[in-house]
Structures are given as structure tokens and as C-alpha cells.
Amino acid sequence: MNENKTNINWYPGHMAKAKRELKENMQLIDIIYEVIDARMPISSKIIDIDEITTNKPKILVVSKYDICDKQITDKILETYKNYTIVKIDLIKGNTNILISKTKEILNNINNERMKKGLKPRKARVAVIGVPNVGKSTLINKLVGKKVAQTGNTPGVTKSLGWTRINSDIELLDSPGILWPKLENQENAKILAALSSIKEEILDQEQIARFIISKMEELYPDKLINRYKLDKIDRKTIYNEIALKRGLLLKGGVPDFDKVYKTIINDLKDGRFESITLDRI
């Protein structure tokens, strides 16, 4: 099977609506948090972010930094010149530096307001990003309790909603946003592999085969270690994973549906540690 044949496009109606509503509410916004996944810092970057946010100050929140290949990810982050960059481990939830950077920007905004004779105000921050990069988890960490619904599939947040995190900062959560046409199919497949695109758009076999090919290309040792392989052989690897993991039907026949699901979940849940799928 050639996994490179299928073109991926996924742009549900709530994304178009969210983009439109964000633009309409942008005059209320002071600061943008754009959340990206550290394992795909190129693929998860919103292409037309400046069209939506005009010239608002932006903080690039790099989530899941604890499970990326830091050397590769940091090299890519160096190319994002117009951002304040904050790297976050969402599991440990240390968001103090993000709050601190936000207050620095807010102080600058309020200094300008006072020069014009206006009263200082709290920061109104829009949280945006592609699906499933950790926006809702970030908001819950900032607030200190569960106020935003989280999930390991795209499309959990369907509409815009305001949340107050302290006396200085209010957040506007938004649904995950992609772009109407996914021009770069390599990036689209990386988005699909890390669950930013619904699995129904590209079936599990195609996603799993893409993951295996990507891991063979970039991190063959991690692939071998994860599944205790002697070597990587594309013709037999799925059978080997089935045998090693006991993913078998009656008669010892490999259950390939479970094999594909295992590969996808291992990537999605961070069991391949220290990986970044994008390259400059």
C-alpha cells in the first residue's frame, strides 16, 4: 500500500465559524497565546495567524515540550522571530513564566493607555491553535481547576468562551483551527499522526504506516526499542508488533486493527520519548 497517495483535507464548519468570530472579537483582545505542539512546531503552526490577529502581541506557547526532541524543536523555534516563546510541560503544569510574560506585555499596554489618559485594565488573551495541541489543558492549568473540556481527539471545543484566571488576566478559549486547504501533505499527515485531524479522514492503517515510515526515517533506534525488534523490515514489522504485544486473533493470526491502533496511541500518548517529526 502506498500511504503517500491520499490527500488530506479537513475543515469542519465550526472552524470557519471560529475564525470569523475571532476576527470579529479581535478588537477586544490584547494578547494572543498561540499554542503549538513541540513535537510538530511547523505542522501545528497556524499559517494565516497574522490575518486573524492583525498586529496583536503574541506569545507562542510550546506545549508538550517535555516529550519533544529539544535540539530539533529549539532549532525550529529560533526561526519564529516575532514571538515571545514560552515552553511548557503540561503534565507538571508550571505556568508561572507564562503569567510573568503576560504581565510584562500587559504593563506595556497599560503604560500606553495611561499616556493617553486611559485607566489600566486587565489583559484579555485569546488562546488559539490547531486541534489537540493542549489549549484546554493549558487553560485548566492556568485557572487551577477544570474549566475547559479536554480530550485526545480534535473538535472537543466547539465555540468561543471567556474564563478568568486571576484579577489581571481573562482568557478567550477557541476551537482548534486549521486552514481551508492543507497544501503541504507532509504537514497534514503529521497533524493526523498526532491527532489534530480526525482519524476518520485518514484511516488507521494509513496513519500507522506513516508513523512507522517517519520513525524509521528519523528515529529508527526508538522504533526498534519500543517494539523490541531485531531490525526494521516494513514487510514484517506489523506482524512482529502483533506477536510481541500479543495482538492476535484466534489461531494466532495478527489483529492488524489493534496493531495500527497501538502504533497511533504510542505516538499520541508520548511513549516514543524525545521526538520531533518536523524538520526545517
Mean pLDDT, to the nearest integer, of 38-55? 87
Contacts of residue 223, Cβ cutoff 8 Å, sequence gap at least 6: 212, 215, 216, 229, 232, 272
Q: pLDDT, tens digit, for every residue of 51-109?
A: 788 788 999 999 999 999 999 999 999 999 888 999 998 777 678 899 999 999 999 99
For residue 139, what pLDDT band results from cuts at 50, 70 and 90?
confident
Per-residue pLDDT for 153 more than 50? no
pLDDT exceeds 70 at position 132: yes
- Asked if residue 276 is part of any domain, the answer here is no
The pLDDT assigned to 47 comes to: 81
Q: What is the CATH number of the domain that holds 71?
A: 3.40.50.300
Query: Which DSSP string corresponds to 208-277?
Result: HHHHHHHHHHH-HHHHHHHHT-SS--TTTHHHHHHHHHT-B-GGG-B-HHHHHHHHHHHHHTT-S-S---
**pLDDT higher than threshold 50 for residue 171:** yes
- pLDDT bucket at 26, cuts 50 / 70 / 90: confident
Residue 243 in any domain: the answer is yes
User: Do 237 and 168 fall into the same domain?
Assistant: no
154 and 38 belong to one structural domain: yes
Do 163 and 54 lie in one domain? The reply is yes
Kindly report the average pLDDT of the chain as a whole number.
84
**Does residue 240 surpass a pLDDT of 80?**
yes
User: Number of structural domains, the chain?
Assistant: 2
Output the pTM of the full model: 0.84
Rounded average pLDDT over 29-37: 93
